[in-house]
């Protein structure tokens, strides 16, 4: 046989897909199926073709003549389209793809027909179907005609549904198209989607972590963008837990309104009172239309079209249950609840922590409620109600690996056989009823309860038996007849989803969904690193993100006056291009324009600039009247770096006149305000950036710093601000164009809300120089030395306030608790020329006279700085202070080395009024001295004081040790919570 240049050979990779670990020696010759083609110099591609009946992979070699790799790859791509490729998640157990495509063609035909002005085909208008053409996935317990309905039970192997469930009919009537059926645990009675018929379904975030159950197949598929909607059912958390572990929205509809016909197992009427159905989706905006369709004619009872004023609702919350058999809530889950509480409070809602003591009985309440239902025993369900299994024999088989049933199903069957006295059952039913009354009265029709969906987001596949009690976090609310929405609230530090249950009384689905929609808008409160992951995996559209930030800027701008110029429409167009590229590459295509989405660490992240660093097409005036209307003609290098990394510029923000003040005010654009308190300075010169970022109007702002201009605004606005080792930063086309000597003390850096965003931002800011900063080096914080000081001994500087001092002490104590060693331990261009845009010089005497009656175009602080720069100082005095500077620098360099940091106040006082900056100008010494000493510094927010104003601390290290200060910043964020949103009241 001779190979042609246009032919391929399909040949087995191996004769058998099941080779045991100890059998390779006896089957050694079987490798000839592949080895021979190496000898023949062939081009070969191995292609996965799915799984066999034992859930083991199948595959085929596609072979062509040498130099015809393009042929084998083209065939591989086609076979992947047909067979689905490698089974990453194993969520689908049955499908109707061809029928779905035919139904989709019929939809297209009807749309075309009606758009041409014709009457509807078949008498049903496309405009009457709210889910027209939407594909959805079913769950292997709720029947879809022609697809499996086995509930993963071996006794039901091969059984297919003969008719649709009513809820499926509702979806079809609304125009939706069923595509497939998804996997469940055996008979639904476990919280990991695994059975002996179809195997393990995997979590798309981490295959070693459970997708949970029983709607784990639906959740895994929806989370993988394999379906826009999955049907879920929930008896104890079977919608909410999979939605939590897979990062989705899952809604448990008020159960009285849901038809539950032909469900398998066919629960009795009492058990059905605990069971509900609901949609599992990626977007909160899909919940309302889906719920309306699920409940059919009952939709009017749910008030879903009723407008909700979230400022008027009551928000109650708890962090965990007082049950010794339940896992303690992890810090990241707790922080998620706290963040949601802060966000709802910022809207103006009334928030209150409560202690529902009876929740500690949740496990007993749910289990004994189930016992009281007297439903069909699990041992009978496992035979498809044809007799009963021998439970002892099946447990024995399990020990030998021979049972057809899962350990979870058998464990539930054992629990069903355990004796419980009627007295004990009635006691817990009484506690249940009392708890239900207490919670019902607490919530009324205008209250919601925030509660963890699960105490931890990392449950390994083999750990469900040991943590079974943890399902109490969801199961109890089925017993209490509540409506609930599980809401994803981002990822933890391991990249696993976090979530929260939003709980309300029955028939208040509109409340929980409204809160879910609001918390979804919290994508404004997501770190950049999470958002990039969501964009690159197709879970988040860049266009939606950019529009959300544009909308947010438009909301806060009237309150804070931070933005002086914008490019919103261009940014949206660039975001659409990002989405186009993502879709293209996720379909397996080569990158558009030759740049892969995976090579861009800030793909789709919107950012704002500062009115001194040029962004092409936007203003670059530095708040100086003589530069009014001047726009940048090219990007600064640091902006180019950000664009190359995939980031998208949105706007330019306000600065003090010519940057030389520590309050952001000028006569061109006016005063920028602090979002925490409008009578307090936002500081400067990066005050516009800081105010906007703190108001959640931007993910990141570009800051620059020669005396504290990143750190002081970050301090006053409760943010992280990092001063990058200045030698590594390109500072081209800056205005004013400072002389080279001055630029030695000048640096740029990111201003952000989350410490986790600092490293990726800094890497991009410094470009090819990133390797010099050791940012990927692991830091053992127990091995670093921590030095600290509380204040400067200068009689002209404000004394450090008690809360600033306490903040330093708290940081020191925390670092000590980790095991760290702790120990207390300049000529430039005259400013009068800059004021004329370097076209001559201003008369300071005349400008001061004008200022007295409000006639000067310049700010009083700019004039004061100009006077200060005119004051003469003798050469001898100048040299004396330069000598002191060099001695201090040498002393600090020796003290810190490459393994130490200094904790030092960012500012002595966090309450500086708008009109008080001249009087307190020397207080900037707390930051500016470290520019002169060539240090790398991160300002870290450490909470709010009793007045609700931010506190912070500088983490200082020698140059090129940015990795140290950022590592400490990340640790202090974990301890103190980082940025805290300002309240709505404070915006007004």
Residue 476: CB atoms within 10 Å? 28
* Per-residue pLDDT, 299: 94
Rounded to a whole number of angstroms, the distance between the first and last alpha carbons of the chain is 82
Query: Catalytic residue numbers?
Result: 610, 685, 709
Domain boundary among 491, 520, 549: 520
**Residue 68 structure tokens:** 């015809």
pLDDT of 827 above 50: no
Structural domain total, the chain: 3
* Per-residue pLDDT, 987: 31
* Per-residue pLDDT, 724: 97
CA distance 478 to 309: 27
CA distance 690 to 753: 9
Q: Is the peptide bond before 685 cis (omega within 30 degrees of 0)?
A: yes
Helix and strand totals (H; E) in the chain: 32, 29
Rounded to a whole number of angstroms, the CA Rg of the chain reads: 32
Per residue in 340-353, is it b (16+ CB within 10 Å) or e — as a string? bbbbbbbbebebee
pLDDT of 847 above 80: no
Residues 237 and 137 in one domain: yes
Quick: pLDDT tens for 239-249. Answer: 999 999 999 99
pLDDT of 426 above 50: yes
Q: Which pLDDT band holds residue 85 (cuts at 50, 70, 90)?
A: low
| DSSP symbols for 634-670 | S--HHHHHHHHTT-EEEEEE--SGGG-SSS-EETTTE
Quick: pLDDT tens for 485-532. Answer: 999 987 787 878 999 999 999 999 999 999 999 888 766 778 999 899
pLDDT of 838 above 50: no
- Residue 121 belongs to domain spanning: 92-368+425-520
Angle, alpha carbons 620-624-630 (nearest 5°): 35
Residues 664 and 752 in one domain: yes
Q: Which pLDDT band holds residue 865 (cuts at 50, 70, 90)?
A: low
Question: What is the H or E stretch that residue 477 is in?
Answer: helix 472-479
Residue 775: CB atoms within 10 Å? 17
Beta partners for 695?
A: none
* Per-residue pLDDT, 352: 97
Angle, alpha carbons 654-655-660 (nearest 5°): 175
Tell me the average pLDDT across 68-91. 78
Quick: pLDDT tens for 300-354. Answer: 999 999 989 998 999 999 999 999 999 999 999 998 999 899 888 877 899 999 9
Residues 62 and 162 in one domain: no
Of 284, 239, 178, 176, residue with least CA distance to 540: 284
Candidate from 655-659, 686-690, 945-949 with smallest mean pLDDT: 945-949
Residues 238 and 256 in one domain: yes
Residues 290 and 187 in one domain: yes
Tell me the average pLDDT across 174-191. 96
Tell me the average pLDDT across 80-85. 64
**Residue 239 structure tokens:** 């919608």
Residues 718 and 821 in one domain: yes
Question: What is the H or E stretch that residue 964 is in?
Answer: helix 962-976
Q: Which pLDDT band holds residue 832 (cuts at 50, 70, 90)?
A: very low
Q: Which pLDDT band holds residue 881 (cuts at 50, 70, 90)?
A: confident
Domain boundary among 482, 497, 520: 520
Provide the CATH number for the domain around residue 364. 3.90.1300.10
* Per-residue pLDDT, 74: 87
Q: Which residues contact 1 (CB under 8 A, 6 or more apart)?
A: none
- Which of helix, strand or coil describes residue 931? helix
**Residue 799 structure tokens:** 């004394």
Quick one: DSSP state of residue 327? P
CA distance 978 to 332: 13
Write down the mean pLDDT value for the chain. 90
Residues 226 and 270 in one domain: yes
Residues 357 and 480 in one domain: yes
pLDDT of 27 above 90: no
Residues 42 and 97 in one domain: no
In this structure, is residue 784 part of a structural domain? yes
Domain boundary among 459, 490, 520: 520
Helices (H), 682-801: 687-694, 711-716, 740-743, 758-766
Residues 286 and 215 in one domain: yes
In this structure, is residue 390 part of a structural domain? no
* Per-residue pLDDT, 691: 97
- Which of helix, strand or coil describes residue 351? strand
Cα–Cα distances in angstroms (integers) from residue 315 to residues 331, 489, 513, in the given order: 21, 17, 14
**pTM across the whole model:** 0.62
Q: Which pLDDT band holds residue 589 (cuts at 50, 70, 90)?
A: very high
CA distance 42 to 8: 10
CA distance 624 to 661: 13
pLDDT of 189 above 50: yes
Question: Looking only at Cα atoms, what is the longest distance across the chain?
Answer: 104
Residues 563 and 617 in one domain: yes
CA distance 198 to 154: 10
Residues 783 and 900 in one domain: yes
Cβ atoms 649, 607 nearer than 8 A = yes
Residue 877: CB atoms within 10 Å? 10
């Amino acid at each position: 046989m001779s190979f042609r240049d246009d032919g391929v050979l399909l040949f087995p990779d191996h004769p058998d897909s099941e080779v045991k670990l100890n059998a390779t020696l006896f089957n050694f010759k079987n490798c000839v199926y592949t080895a021979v083609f190496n000898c023949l110099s062939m081009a070969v591609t191995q292609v996965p073709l799915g799984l066999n009946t034992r859930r083991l992979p199948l595959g085929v070699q596609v072979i062509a003549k040498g130099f015809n790799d393009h042929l084998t790859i083209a065939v591989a791509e086609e076979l992947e389209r047909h067979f689905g490729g490698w089974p990453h998640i194993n969520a689908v157990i049955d499908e109707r793809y061809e029928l779905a495509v035919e139904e989709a063609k019929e939809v297209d035909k009807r749309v075309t027909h009606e758009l041409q002005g014709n009457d509807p085909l078949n008498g049903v208008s496309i405009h009457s179907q709210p889910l027209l053409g939407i594909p959805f996935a079913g769950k292997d317990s709720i029947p879809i005609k022609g697809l499996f309905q086995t509930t993963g039970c071996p006794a039901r192997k091969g059984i297919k549904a003969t008719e649709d469930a009513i809820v499926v009919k509702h979806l079809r009537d609304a125009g939706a198209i069923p595509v497939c059926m998804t996997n469940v645990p055996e008979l639904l009675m476990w919280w990991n989607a695994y059975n002996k018929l179809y195997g393990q379904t995997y979590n798309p975030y981490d295959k070693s972590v459970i997708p949970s159950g029983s709607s784990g197949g639906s959740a895994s598929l929806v989370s993988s963008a394999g379906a826009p909607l999955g049907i879920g059912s929930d008896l104890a958390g079977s919608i909410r837990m999979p939605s939590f572990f897979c990062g989705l929205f899952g809604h448990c509809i008020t159960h009285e309104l849901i038809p539950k016909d032909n469900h398998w197992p066919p629960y009795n009427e009492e058990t059905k009172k605990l069971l509900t159905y609901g949609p599992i989706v990626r977007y909160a905006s899909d919940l309302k239309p889906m719920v309306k369709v699920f409940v059919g004619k009952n939709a009017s009872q749910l008030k879903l079209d009723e407008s909700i004023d979230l400022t008027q609702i009551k928000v109650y919350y708890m962090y965990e249950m007082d049950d010794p058999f339940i896992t303690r809530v992890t810090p990241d889950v707790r922080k998620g609840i706290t963040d949601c509480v802060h966000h709802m409070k910022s809207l103006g809602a009334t928030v209150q922590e409560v202690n529902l003591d009876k929740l500690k009985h949740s496990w007993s309440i749910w289990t004994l409620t189930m016992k009281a239902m007297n439903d069909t025993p699990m041992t009978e369900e496992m035979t498809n109600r044809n007799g009963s299994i021998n439970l002892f024999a099946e447990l024995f088989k399990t020990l030998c690996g021979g049972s057809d049933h899962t350990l979870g199903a058998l464990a539930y069957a054992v629990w069903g056989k355990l004796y419980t006295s009627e007295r004990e059952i009635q006691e817990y039913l009484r506690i249940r009823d009392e708890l239900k009354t207490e919670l019902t009265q607490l919530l009324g029709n205008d209250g919601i309860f925030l509660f963890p969906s699960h105490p931890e987001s990392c449950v390994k596949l083999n750990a469900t038996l040991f943590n079974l009690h943890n399902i109490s976090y969801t199961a109890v609310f089925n017993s209490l007849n509540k409506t609930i929405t599980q809401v994803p609230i981002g990822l933890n530090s391991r990249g696993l989803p976090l979530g929260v249950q939003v709980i309300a009384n029955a028939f208040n689905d509109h409340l929980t969904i409204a809160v879910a929609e609001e918390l979804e808008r919290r994508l404004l409160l997501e770190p950049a690193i999470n958002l990039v992951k969501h964009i690159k995996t197709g879970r988040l559209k860049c266009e939606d993100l950019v529009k959300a930030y544009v909308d947010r800027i438009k909301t806060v701008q009237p309150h804070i006056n931070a933005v002086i110029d914008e490019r919103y429409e261009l940014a949206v167009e660039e975001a659409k291009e990002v989405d186009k590229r993502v879709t293209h590459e996720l379909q397996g295509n080569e990158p558009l324009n030759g740049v892969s989405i995976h090579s861009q660490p800030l793909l789709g992240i919107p950012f704002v600039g500062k009115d001194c660093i040029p962004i092409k097409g936007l203003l670059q005036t530095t708040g100086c009247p003589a530069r009014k209307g001047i726009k940048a003609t090219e990007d600064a290098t640091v902006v180019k770096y950000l664009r190359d990394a995939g980031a998208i510029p949105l706007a330019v923000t306000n600065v003090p006149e010519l940057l030389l003040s520590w309050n952001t005010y000028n006569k061109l654009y006016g005063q920028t305000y602090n979002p925490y308190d409008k009578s307090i300075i936002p500081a400067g010169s990066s005050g516009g950036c800081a105010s906007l970022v703190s108001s959640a109007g931007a993910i990141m702002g570009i800051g620059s710093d020669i005396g504290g201009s990143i750190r002081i605004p970050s301090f006053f606005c409760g943010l992280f601000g990092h001063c990058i080792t200045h030698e590594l930063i390109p500072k081209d086309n800056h205005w004013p164009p400072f002389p080279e000597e001055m630029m030695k003390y000048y640096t740029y850096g990111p201003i952000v809300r989350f410490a986790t965003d600092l490293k990726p931002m800094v890497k991009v800011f410094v470009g090819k120089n990133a390797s010099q900063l050791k940012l990927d080096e692991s830091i053992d914080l127990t091995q670093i030395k921590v030095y600290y000081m509380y204040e400067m001994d200068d009689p002209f500087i404000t004394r450090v306030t008690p809360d600033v001092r306490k903040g330093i002490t708290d940081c020191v104590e925390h670092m000590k608790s980790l095991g760290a060693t702790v120990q207390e331990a300049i000529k430039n261009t005259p400013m009068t020329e800059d004021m004329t845009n370097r076209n001559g010089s201003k008369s300071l005497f005349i400008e001061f006279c004008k200022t007295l009656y409000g006639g000067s175009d310049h700010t009083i602080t700019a004039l004061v700085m100009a006077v200060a720069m005119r004051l003469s100082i003798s050469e001898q005095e100048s040299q004396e202070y330069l000598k002191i500077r060099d001695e201090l620098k040498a002393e600090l360099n020796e003290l810190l080395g490459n393994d130490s940091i200094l904790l030092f106040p960012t500012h002595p006082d966090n309450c500086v009024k708008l009109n008080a900056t001249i009087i307190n100008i020397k207080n900037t010494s707390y930051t500016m001295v470290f520019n002169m000493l060539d240090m790398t510094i991160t300002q870290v927010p450490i909470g709010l004081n009793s007045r609700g104003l931010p506190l912070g601390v500088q983490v200082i290290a020698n140059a090129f040790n940015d990795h140290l200060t950022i590592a400490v910043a990340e640790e202090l964020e974990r301890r103190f919570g980082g940025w805290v949103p300002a309240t709505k009241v404070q915006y007004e």
